[in-house]
Amino acid sequence: MTDFNTIIKGEVPVLVDFYADWCAPCKMMPPILKQVKDQLGDKIRIIKINTEKNRAISEKFQIQSIPTMILFKNGEKAWKTSGVMQATQLLATLKYYIN
């Protein structure tokens, strides 16, 4: 948990993708997140958290369905959503918080 807290408190906003290996919709997210990272580059950091292997983090942020994404800015939760989002929607939302 210490490493996670250090990561989300960085200067660069962090998008956390909460997932599980068995989750079919979660498997749709990697190419979408790659498109987002390709577009935003160094303006964002994207990490994936397996909810089954990181139960404490999942419980702390009340992850009740997956995939769930949370955007952190300076260690604070700025935005949260559940379900698959298309890259264009996700980019539009993130740009609001990043710029």
Write down the mean pLDDT value for the chain. Answer: 95
CATH of the domain at 90: 3.40.30.10
Note down the domain range covering 73: 2-98
**Which of 8, 18, 19, 12 lies closest to 77, judged by CA?**
8
Quick one: tokens of 79? 């935005």
What are 41-54's pLDDT values in tens digits? 999 999 999 999 99
- 10 neighbors 60 (Cβ within 8 angstroms): no
23 annotated active-site: yes
- Among the listed residues 20, 23, 84, 98, the single catalytic one is 23
pTM reported for the whole predicted model: 0.94
The predicted-structure confidence for 17-36, as pLDDT tens digits, reads as follows: 999 999 999 999 999 999 99
Q: What is the pLDDT of residue 81?
A: 97
Catalytic-labelled residue, pool 26, 29, 69, 90: 26
